[in-house]
Amino acid sequence: MTGKQPDPSSPPHRTRLLVTRPAEDAQPLVRRLEALGFDAAIEPMLSMVWLDGPEPDLSDVQALLFTSANGVRAYSKRTNRRDRPVHAVGDATARAARAAGFGQVDSASGDVYALANRVRSLRDPSAGTLLHVAGSKVAGDLGGLLGGSGFMVRRSVMYDAVPALTLSDDTATFLRTSALDGVLFFSPRTAVSFVRLLAEAGLVDCCRTVDAFCLSPAVAEAARAYGDEGVTPWRNVRVAARPEQDALLDLLPVAG
């Protein structure tokens, strides 16, 4: 028998995954990944900045719209009022709203289109305004989708998501040494930011041994794009069957 034999004293390789979500969302996800048997590291592509402002006026508001857990956090920093029903874009956002103390929470379990459809089916345009608590940049035109059905949507910007400026030394080392197996992307903006930082660090070719796990087709498109015409050379780009965290985790290999 020839060839180098495994060293029985060496620890077995564990699949290493990189979580690109903001720190507030990444930490519970890392705990879950580690419980599943993965090594997980955090490389936030966005940092949250909570904007100062007055307590929101809810006098004409029939319901609150949240398109991210960060919207729930931002609202909770402005006011203690939890007396309006909540429509959340997905299950993670709905969980954040319940944890923040809201009693009436409905989840669209999808994207902004699913949220708009859910609101249309459950709300009456004549019953009052819908308050969309959002960041300075949003994905999709929720106001336009609902405005066409007669709803008045008021968007209140309560936070800003600031892109990361560099990759950490740890992540750069993981990439250079082929010690990273996969990257989890939850939004087009984080995927664009990650690929941009890869290019600036000269590490794009290191993606050839890394899988990109993407929450939606739009996220996958952003992860693939490199410059004006290039394609990021991921080993594989995999897309969740539904735009939900559990569906994304279903894409992962057996931990090992």
Query: For 179-224, how does the pLDDT look when each residue is reduced to its tens digit (9 = 90+)?
Result: 999 999 998 999 999 999 999 999 999 999 999 999 999 999 999 9
Q: How confident is the model at residue 5 (pLDDT cuts 50, 70, 90)?
A: very low
Q: Does the pLDDT of residue 14 top 60, yes or no?
A: yes
Q: How confident is the model at residue 8 (pLDDT cuts 50, 70, 90)?
A: very low
Q: Give the Cβ contact number of residue 101 at 10 Å.
A: 10
CA 236 from chain centre, in angstroms, equals 20
Contact 46, 190 (CB under 8 A): yes
Contact 61, 128 (CB under 8 A): yes
- The confidence score (pLDDT) of residue 156 equals 96
More confident residue, 4 or 128: 128
Instruction: Tell me the helix, strand and coil percentages in the chain, rounded to 5.
Output: 35, 25, 40
Q: Give me 247's structure tokens.
A: 């569906």
Q: Does the pLDDT of residue 6 top 60, yes or no?
A: no
Three-point CA angle 27, 248, 110, nearest 5°: 100
Instruction: DSSP letter for 208, please.
Output: G
Q: Give the Cβ contact number of residue 44 at 10 Å.
A: 20
Q: How confident is the model at residue 9 (pLDDT cuts 50, 70, 90)?
A: very low
- The confidence score (pLDDT) of residue 137 equals 81
Task: Give Cα separations from 33 to 40, 61, 96, 117, 219 (angstroms).
Answer: 7, 39, 19, 32, 21
Half-sphere exposure of 7 (CA within 13 A, CB side): 4
Q: pTM score, two decimals?
A: 0.80
Distance from C-alpha of 47 to C-alpha of 23, rounded to nearest angstrom: 7
**Tens digits of residue pLDDT in 216-240:** 999 999 999 987 667 999 999 999 9
Q: Is the dihedral of CA 107, 113, 116, 117 positive or negative?
A: negative
Exposed / middle / buried, residue 106 (Cβ in 10 Å: 0-12, 13-18, 19+): middle
What DSSP letter does each residue of 28-51 carry, written as one string?
Answer: HHHHHHHHTT-EEEE--SEEEEEP
Distance from C-alpha of 227 to C-alpha of 222, rounded to nearest angstrom: 11
- The confidence score (pLDDT) of residue 4 equals 39
- Helices and strands in the chain: count of H runs, count of E runs: 9, 13
